[in-house]
Amino acid sequence: MGLPLMMERSSNNNNVELSRVAVSDTHGEDSPYFAGWKAYDENPYDESHNPSGVIQMGLAENQVSFDLLETYLEKKNPEGSMWGSKGAPGFRENALFQDYHGLKTFRQAMASFMEQIRGGKARFDPDRIVLTAGATAANELLTFILADPNDALLVPTPYYPGFDRDLRWRTGVKIVPIHCDSSNHFQITPEALDSAYQTARDANIRVRGVLITNPSNPLGATVQKKVLEDLLDFCVRKNIHLVSDEIYSGSVFHASEFTSVAEIVENIDDVSVKERVHIVYSLSKDLGLPGFRVGTIYSYNDNVVRTARRMSSFTLVSSQTQHMLASMLSDEEFTEKYIRINRERLRRRYDTIVEGLKKAGIECLKGNAGLFCWMNLGFLLEKKTKDGELQLWDVILKELKLNISPGSSCHCSEVGWFRVCFANMSENTLEIALKRIHEFMDRRRRF
Amino acid sequence: MRLIVPLRGVIQGRGGLFVGSLIPCCLFYFLQLYLKRRRPPPTDPTELPRTSSRTNLFSRGNSIGRVRVSSRAVPVAKPSDSPYYIGLERVKTDPYDRIKNTDGIIQLGLAESTLCFDLLQRWMSENLMESMMQSDDGEFDISSIAMYKPFEGLLELRVAFADFMSRIMGGNVSFDPSNMVITAGGTPAIEVLAFCLADHGNAFLIPTPYYPGFDRDIKFRTGVELIPVHCRSSDNFTVTVSALEQALNQARKRGSKVSGILFSNPSNPVGNILSRETLQDILRFAQEKNIHVISDEIFAGSVYGDKEFVSMAEIAGSGEFDKSRVHIIYGLSKDLSIPGFRAGVIYSFHEDVVNAAKKLMRFSSVPVPVQRILISLLSDVRFIEEYMTAHRQRIRDKHIRFVEGLKQLGIPCAESGGGLYCWVDMSSLLTSYSEKGELELFEKLLTVAKINATPGTACYCIEPGWFRCCFTALADEDIPVIMERIRQLRESSRS
């Protein structure tokens, strides 16, 4: 769990002891993934005030559709009526309501929104929705429920660096990687699954489930339907759980290219198959509202729903937030328009960045979703090792002043890949970033 | 593998013991070992063979094992056997309503206040929108509430909280915003502290009677135990150092490692305000034993008696003790009557605890729009002064009425000066002076008198007959109704 054996558990000149959780470095905030953020914080790019600052391309935040939200809120909410400030029932409800079941209207709105994203190809029952303060909390909560300390979840690489912290820190659960590589666009193969499972068994570790992100972070690509079916097959055979983190499901550029695990389960009647499937969702990426802290666990397992609900007391969504968002998310006319335009804008951004990189001689993995692209700089590495990759990352941070995420922080088994976010900046800023990359590549070619 | 072979050689007494029996035995053993290693590992008995037909597999019915949850999840989903939760659930089935359901169950089991809603509502209707939506230039800017912000809470909010807490705790103590972490309520605050101060299997000492919710908040996921330190009515249920000492020694004998002491002040369920001396005694004891002190001060602003409230932060800051072992929990659910907003505080004098708690806030942070509302609310000094004065006054008035009503029935209450409840001695109504008798009375109160009050057993009180009655969600007219029901219950039990 990352606890250095020799570390004192009481530090400074204080005598009193702290817990292992408190002193552990499993929070991972010393890794390059976060070090780049520090560099950005110290010298952030600003179009007018600091044009030579660090451009943050390491944060997967969606700002491309803020104007749609603003327009909607201003139009529909002239005097704060929507926010519950008017009238006795509104305020009383919000102030006192802290039931872990969550507001029914809000859960219905979430269910409806999730259905819309999947084009109606799957139905969601509002009573199976458990609310948590963000997807981070949802993933951690599910891990507490599905696995005991020292058990493992299998997670395909490359994966979101935050999982090391979210799935392991307080839970004591391990991650065993399912290695994927570029030979088949990093898709999960049955052989890789079996190999990961065996690795765990050989180390006497009990595997409790597989956790995937679909669409994938950092790949920016959807998981193929056949792979999902293979995964469910595998989980049934091993009698383990399947967790699908679908936080980027609304950010797929072409709706037809996304298959949710919910669609697969929709056609299955057998409860013993269905009840091992759980979906995580959040409004942080698709709706661009990470500050609102709204996440959800959707489970086909009654026991997991009951347990998650009770445990959600540690991470409740504020009733104010639920109230605020319930009417917006149930407004189907608005959500249909938002989802459609958001997808379109993300696709255009993606095309811009991929084309721009191509002109500089850089290839990316063919992606179709998300707020980032998966860029291949392997050909630039002096040493084809993790150190070589980190050296290049450091050069990009210090010389180009671009903070991007090295594949090694995502546990990628191939060196030279980098995740580059494109949705958390203006189009102008993206152009500047591409210009810096062009100039860098030009300079290299000359030598 | 058998041991008979080597023994045979010994029994037969052959001189060639070594050559005759030991070496062949060794060879035999080694052969077994070699074969064992070469054998493929046993397959998981629950695993099914791979099938080529997927639809067959998915419709196999009962031949697939049911997938299991973790062993720590199992107790969580079980229906609670604590009267605290049972009572709360029962009220939901038949809640009292002054107009629509006059025979319903009256809720005295939830420590919440609605006494000053009128003031809050007025503030919200005047200020909510502006406080949430406004950015620096006055225009509505969604990015100011939509984007990621530090999980431990905006600096302005921590500054506002520090100031607010200082005000309501008498102004004798100041709080440093950099020692503060904002959480999504008091519940995650206590859990995060437990995760930081104790390992799985360690324990906190906790004076009884204590708030039943701690059992869940602390034990659910952290694996930390709670060791009760029993207090008596003769001390008005105030903890003594000798009781702490005794509990600690017993714990050590059992092999339990105690990491700290957890207590609430004002206390819940009794409503005691701990004196300066008691607080110093507790901190001195903790220092001697080198353990932590967690003071849950969530009712600090709900003090209505004559006794002055002193925060543990004040004692810690006095310079007499090592303050790095002191941690405080606070929240707005009780004093400001907004549990739905989910806003709590961890305040710690230990830098590493603050740093760890900050990082853990990613799992339990307050939404940015709500933070903006709270910054505005807590910084509105004029309103806060008006509110806190009214809050204390109204609790005091209600307390006097409620206790007087019980007094007329000959039912005494423990002395209390804070909180939203009183600790009522109903032992005169017990058929037997025992836990069993108390639970029977609890049931009768619920089903016959239709009142939900929390029995002392749920709070681990060692003296039977005590009940916590929360009165701050009652209208004045409700009080005679309650007293009449209790009176009738007593009459019917006598006959």
Q: Alpha-carbon distance B191 to B214, whole Å?
A: 9
Check if B43 contacts A (Cβ < 8 Å): no
Cα–Cα dist A374/A182, whole Å: 11
Amino acid at B452: N
CA gap B444, B486 in Å, rounded? 10
Q: What is the pLDDT of residues B409-457, one digit of tens each?
A: 999 999 999 999 999 999 999 999 999 999 999 999 999 999 999 999 9
Contact yes or no for A269 and B69 at CB 8 A: no
Q: What is the pLDDT of residue B23?
A: 56
Whether A373 contacts A220, CB under 8 Å: yes
- Which of A352, A351, A409, A406 is closest to A380 using CA atoms? A406
What is residue B180's three-state secondary structure?
Answer: strand
* Band of residue B43 on the pLDDT scale cut at 50, 70, 90: very low
Cα separation, A383 vs B379, in Å, equals 56
Judging by beta carbons within 10 Å of its beta carbon (0-12, 13-18, 19+), is residue A70 exposed, middle or buried? middle
Q: Which residues of B touch A9 (CB under 8 A)?
A: none
H runs (alpha helix) in B290-345: 312-316
| Sequence-distant (≥ 6) Cβ neighbours of residue A231 within 8 angstroms | A188, A193, A210, A212, A242
- Residue with structure tokens 């502006």? B130
Write out the CATH class of domain A93-330.
alpha beta
Partner-chain contact B65 A23, CB within 8 Å? no
Tokens of A285: 């990426």
SS3 state at A393: helix
Q: Which residue of A has its CA nearest to B291?
A: A16
Say yes or no: B131 contacts chain A, CB-CB below 8 A: no
Tokens encoding B241: 């150092």
ipTM score assigned to the predicted complex = 0.89
Number of residues in chain B: 495
Q: Which residues of B touch A148 (CB under 8 A)?
A: 70-72
Q: Is A264 a catalytic residue?
A: no
CA separation for the pair A351, A354 (Å, rounded) = 5
Tell me the β-bridge partners of A209: A153, A241
Residue among B417, B379, B376 at smallest CA distance from B395: B417
Q: Does B44 touch chain A (CB under 8 A)?
A: yes
**CA atoms of A276 and B167, how far apart (whole Å):** 51
Tokens coding A171? 């839970």
Question: Backbone dihedral region of B348: left (phi > 0), alpha (psi from -120 to 50 degrees) or beta?
Answer: beta
One digit per residue, the tens of pLDDT, for chain A of length 447 reads: 434 433 445 444 457 999 999 998 888 777 777 778 888 989 999 989 999 999 999 999 999 998 998 888 777 665 544 454 444 346 666 777 778 888 899 999 999 999 999 999 999 999 999 999 999 999 999 999 999 999 999 999 999 999 999 999 999 999 999 999 999 999 999 999 999 999 999 999 999 999 999 999 999 999 999 999 999 999 999 999 999 999 999 999 998 999 999 999 998 999 999 999 999 999 999 999 999 999 999 999 999 999 999 999 999 998 888 888 998 999 999 999 999 999 999 999 999 999 999 999 999 999 999 999 999 999 999 899 999 999 999 999 999 999 999 999 999 999 999 999 999 999 999 999 999 999 999 988 876
- Contact call for A316 and B147, based on CB within 8 A: no
Query: How many whole angstroms separate alpha carbon A441 and alpha carbon A446?
Result: 9
Q: What confidence score (pLDDT) does residue B77 get? A: 85
Q: How many residues does chain A have?
A: 447
Q: Nearest Cβ partner of B221 from A19, A144, A293?
A: A144
Contact B322 A208 (CB under 8 A): no
Asked if A270's CB is within 8 angstroms of B60's CB, the reply is: yes
Rounded-to-integer distance, Cα A180 and Cα A195, Å: 11
B342 touching A, CB under 8 A? yes
Q: Taking CB atoms and an 8 Å cutoff, what residues of chain A touch B54?
A: 229, 233
Two structure tokens written together for A278:
């759980």
3-state secondary structure of B206: strand
The reported pLDDT for the residue numbered B217 is: 93
Quickly list DSSP for B9-30. HHHTT-TTHIIIIIHHHHHHHH
The pair of three-digit structure tokens given for residue A402, joined into one six-digit string: 């671009």
Tell me how far apart the alpha carbons of residues A118 and A266 are, in angstroms, rounded to a whole number.
12
- Residue A245 sits at φ, ψ, to 5 deg, of -85, 105
Least Cα separation, residue B305 to chain A (angstroms) = 25
Nearest CA in chain A to B203: A19
CATH of the domain spanning A32-66+335-441: 3.90.1150.10
As a whole number of angstroms, the distance between CA B317 and CA B322 comes to 9
CA A178/CA A155 separation, integer angstroms: 6
Residue A275 pLDDT: 96
Phi, psi of A217 (to 5 degrees): -110, 120
Write out the H or E segment, with its range, that includes residue A373: strand A372-376
- Residue pair B404/A328 in contact by the 8 Å Cβ criterion: no
**What number of C-beta contacts closer than 8 Å exist between A and B?**
274
In the prediction, which pLDDT does A344 show?
A: 96
- CA A312 to mean position of chain CA atoms: 20
pLDDT single digits (tens) B136-145: 555 667 777 8
DSSP string, B423-466: EEE-GGG-SSSSHHHHHHHHHHHHHTS-EE-EEGGGGT-SSTTE
Q: What's this model's pTM, rounded to 2 decimal places? A: 0.89
A85/B128 touch (CB, cutoff 8 Å), yes or no: yes
Contact A83 B132 (CB under 8 A): yes
Among A30, A64, A91, most B C-beta atoms within 10 A, so best to mutate, is A91
Among partner residues A239, A276, A291, which is closest to B145 by beta-carbon distance?
A: A291
Provide CATH 3.40.640.10 ranges for chain A: 93-330
Look-up of token digits 């909410």: A77
CA-to-CA distance for B367 and A287, rounded, in angstroms? Answer: 15
Question: Quick one: which H or E segment has residue B221?
Answer: helix B213-222
A69, A83, A237: residue with CB nearest B128: A83
Q: Would you state the pLDDT for residue A282?
A: 96
| Strands A372-376 and A363-364, bridge-based pairing | antiparallel
Do B146 and A73 make contact, defined as CB atoms within 8 angstroms?
A: no
Chain A residues within an 8 Å CB radius of B140: 70, 73-74
- Test B324 with A14 for CB contact under 8 angstroms: yes
Q: What is the C-alpha radius of gyration for chain A, rounded to an integer number of angstroms?
A: 22
Distances (CA, A) of A340 to A61, A261, A268, A327, A336: 18, 21, 29, 19, 6
Given a contact cutoff of 8 angstroms between Cβ atoms, the answer to whether B401 and B314 are in contact is no
- Å from B135 to nearest chain A CA? 13
Question: Which residues in chain B are closer than 8 Å to A23, comparing Cβ atoms?
Answer: 352, 356
Which tokens belong to B395?
Answer: 């609790």
Which residue of chain A is at minimal alpha-carbon distance from B200? A19
DSSP state of A54: B
* Contact across the interface for A66 and B142, Cβ inside 8 Å: yes
Chain B residues with CB inside 8 Å of A83's CB? 128-129, 132
User: Has A160 been annotated as catalytic?
Assistant: yes
CB contact under 8 Å between B197 and A18, yes or no, is: yes
Pairing of strands B225-229, B203-207: parallel
- Chain A CB contacts of B361 under 8 Å are none
Cα–Cα distance list, B256 to A170, B78, B227, B252 (Å): 21, 27, 10, 5
Cα–Cα distance between B326 and B280 in angstroms, integer? Answer: 12
- A356/chain B closest Cα distance in angstroms: 27
On the CB side of A295, CA atoms within 13 Å amount to 31
- Point out which residues pair with A242 in neighbouring strands: A210, A277
Res B28: pLDDT: 56
CATH 3.90.1150.10 maps onto chain A at 32-66+335-441
pLDDT the model gives residue B42: 44
The tokens for B260 are 């700290």
Catalytic residue among A175, A188, A247, A432: A247
CA distance B220 to chain A (A): 8
Query: Would the CA dihedral through B200, B204, B210, B211 be positive or negative?
Result: negative
Q: Are B442 and B453 in contact (CB under 8 A)?
A: yes
**Interface subset of B 426-485, CB within 8 angstroms of A:** none
A285 as an active site residue: the answer is yes
Look at residue B5 and tell me whether its pLDDT is greater than 50.
no
d(CA A196, CA A216): 19
Helical spans, DSSP H, in A298-331: 302-311, 319-330
Give which of B142, B196, B219 to mutate to test A binding, by max A Cβ within 10 Å.
Answer: B142
Specify the DSSP class assigned to residue B140: B
- Catalytically active residues of B are 211, 296, 298, 334
Instruction: Tell if the CB–CB gap between B66 and A94 is shorter than 8 Å.
Output: no
Residues of B in contact with A97 (CB under 8 A): 340
The CA angle A180-A183-A186, to the nearest 5 degrees, is 35
Q: Among the options A151, A164, A166, A245, which is catalytic?
A: A245
Calpha distance B347→B439 (Å, rounded): 38
